[in-house]
Amino acid sequence: MLVLILSVVVLLVIGGCVCVYWSARGDAPRWARGVAKATLLGSELTRSASRNSRSQQGGGDD
């Protein structure tokens, strides 16, 4: 069951990346541009959450 869930997540990520590429080329339909925006937003949210969790851990590299 876990493998199935992870497979679906991987397929969604790959599909999002394809839509971002397609949208960057400029010839994507409206739905693909929407998927690309959602993918980029999810990426930014994940990146900011990762930064926040690292800064809350103390970052003892000073």
Q: Which pLDDT belongs to residue 3?
A: 97
Q: Which pLDDT belongs to residue 35?
A: 96
Q: pLDDT tens digits for 20-62?
A: 999 999 999 999 999 999 999 999 999 998 888 777 776 555 5
In this prediction, residues 4-19 reach a mean pLDDT of 96
Q: Which pLDDT belongs to residue 52?
A: 80
3-state secondary structure the chain: CHHHHHHHHHHHHHHHHHHHHHHHHCCCCHHHHHHHHHHHHHHHHHHHHHHHHHHHCCCCCC
Q: Which pLDDT belongs to residue 28?
A: 94
Q: Which pLDDT belongs to residue 9?
A: 94
Count other Cβ atoms within 10 Å, centred on residue 34.
13
